[in-house]
Structure 1
Amino acid sequence: MMKGLAIACVFALAACGSGRNLVMERALEDLTEDILGGDAADDAPARALGRAEIEAANRPAILARLVGDSSVTVLYQATANGPYDSYISELGQTLVLHGHLVTGTRGLGYDLLSVATSRNDPVVRPTPLSNWPQTVNRTYEFPAFSAQGRMETYRCIFELGDASEAVILGRRHTGIEVSETCSGPDGTFENLHLVDPGSGLIWRSLQWTGPDVALIDLQIVAR
């Protein structure tokens, strides 16, 4: 599925935005100044960015899009809270990553509040492919009309696939495709990862973040 894919990066997503907290608001202002140059960012049109420009920001960066949407956005690391990294786009959408696992979203139309997972989850902790477990359990939390969000637990089974590659902003990454089939109260979904077999690093993946949102195509640009 990933082989031969090369995607240009544009500052746009079709999904609607949501309210920002003060930390994210300040981070977004800082990033806008860094990337586009101060007040000029206010009137700057959406434009494509190349790898050199993204890396010049000297911040970890990812590309993301909703599957089925042709628009792709770049998100820069805004905050780090222990093992959790928050990434923010120019439009204020945010993704929270624990390792490479998406554990929170804001501004994609249906928020994912949190994800708790098995301690040996290789999507969270880079693990040589030969040491990946057969299964992990993940509990997803979604908004609900109660003091606590709606919690759903899924059992995910990993299956190794073929050697493959992804071209991310002109840079080629090779690895093994690993699919994970997750079963829980709302049925079954499938994630897909391109994994470096030696280090266990995941360069690209398609991930489920809720029953009412398309899979997120997540790609690593700068670490």
Structure 2
Amino acid sequence: MSRTALVAPQRTQGMRGLAALVLLAIGLSGCGVVGRTSIKTVQLAMQGKPDIEPTAADVSANPYPQIKVTGPRGGAVLVLGNIDGDRQAWYSNDRSIVFLEDGLLVGTHGGTPELQDMRIEGENPFHALHRVQAPVTVQRQYDVMPGYRFGMPVSGTLERLGTENVEILGNTHALLHVRERLKGQDWKRENHYWVDPANGFIWKSLQAIAPDASLEIIQLKPYSPDLNR
């Protein structure tokens, strides 16, 4: 199978430069949370490796923006390696990648299953998720491997569940909880988003990558422009 079939199409051409520097820094690092745990990639997290619990000191010691990604059986810390327009690529040491747009999970590379692409059709409420009031319907299409499951139509219904306190690295955030119920052929899952009520930044989420798999994503050290939009 070609490498083109393994990554989200038309989005990988610019993944060099900063990404290479980040990966080199990770490879040379002998201390800090990324140096110790970056080999626990998204793939390993989904295939039974133990979870990790980074501390505030660990995260602060590393200069790069960081997220924690947790699958059904464990977690990994990834760093921001590239920005291509609105799409952010978060890398592990062995180049497993999670792609985010406005905090929305739009692709993964490395791991099984692999979300090659996710597209929103029509209006995209994730540009300002904190402004969602009445239930809002979102139309998606998913491309998932293995199985060449391309163009799977999925309908999501977003609704506010109120404000909740969420603790991240010892800091408590009062966040708006938004639930999204997904429906499609072989799909019946829920996404959850914990959103800054002031600017819509998604601090924590649980998002599906396939009909039978989801990833939890927590912003440990956000990319600072995202907090000031």
Instruction: Give the alignment's TM-score, normalised by structure 1.
Output: 0.73
1:206 Cα deviation (Å)?
0.6
Correspondences of 1:20-35 after superposition (within 5 Å): 23=16, 27-33=22-28, 35=29
Alpha carbons of structure 1 residues 199 and 105: separation in structure 2 relative to 1, 3 Å: same
Tell me, what secondary structure is at the counterpart of 2:63? coil
Name the count of aligned residue pairs: 194
- Is contact 2:112-2:146 (8 Å) kept? no
- Is contact 1:120-1:133 (8 Å) kept? no
The answer to whether the aligner puts 1:134 opposite 2:129 as a matched pair is: no
For 1:198, give the aligned amino acid.
Answer: A
Query: Equivalents in 2 of 1:131, 1:160: separation in Å?
Result: 7
Match of 1:97 among 100, 110, 114: 100
Q: Which one has more relative contact order, counting CA pairs under 8 Å at least 6 apart?
A: 1
Query: Equivalents in 2 of 1:119, 1:45: separation in Å?
Result: 38
1:27 Cα deviation (Å)?
4.2
Alpha carbons of structure 1 residues 90 and 132: separation in structure 2 relative to 1, 3 Å: farther
User: Deviation string for 1:163-212 (max 9, x for gaps)?
Assistant: 21211111211112111011112232110111222322211111100124
After the TM superposition, which segments of 4 or more aligned residues of structure 1 sit over 3 Å from their partners?
A: 21-27, 44-49, 130-133, 143-146
User: Deviation string for 1:22-68 (max 9, x for gaps)?
Assistant: 956764233333x436xxx69x99886422332343322111101x3
Alpha carbons of structure 1 residues 53 and 28: separation in structure 2 relative to 1, 3 Å: same
Correspondences of 1:139-150 after superposition (within 5 Å): 139-143=141-145, 150=150
Percentage of pairs with the same residue: 22
The answer to whether the aligner puts 1:195 opposite 2:201 as a matched pair is: no
Tell me, what secondary structure is at the counterpart of 1:126? helix
Gaps of 5+ in 1: 1-17
1:217: which partner in 2?
A: 216
Structure showing the higher helix proportion among its residues: 2
Alpha carbons of structure 1 residues 196 and 45: separation in structure 2 relative to 1, 3 Å: closer
1:57: which partner in 2?
A: 62
Alpha carbons of structure 1 residues 56 and 122: separation in structure 2 relative to 1, 3 Å: farther
Query: Equivalents in 2 of 1:51, 1:179: separation in Å?
Result: 28
Query: Equivalents in 1 of 2:84, 2:197: separation in Å?
Result: 28
Alpha carbons of structure 1 residues 107 and 164: separation in structure 2 relative to 1, 3 Å: same
1:162: which partner in 2?
A: 162
Greater Cα shift, 45-54 or 170-179 = 45-54
- Is contact 1:205-1:219 (8 Å) kept? yes
Query: Equivalents in 2 of 1:166, 1:90: separation in Å?
Result: 28
1:126 Cα deviation (Å)?
3.3
2:85: which partner in 1?
A: 82
Gaps of 5+ in 2: 1-5, 41-51, 223-229
Alpha carbons of structure 1 residues 138 and 130: separation in structure 2 relative to 1, 3 Å: closer
User: Deviation string for 1:64-105 (max 9, x for gaps)?
Assistant: 101x32x32211011111111110123542101111111111
Query: Equivalents in 2 of 1:167, 1:111: separation in Å?
Result: 29
Superposition CA RMSD, Å? 3.1
1:36: which partner in 2?
A: 30
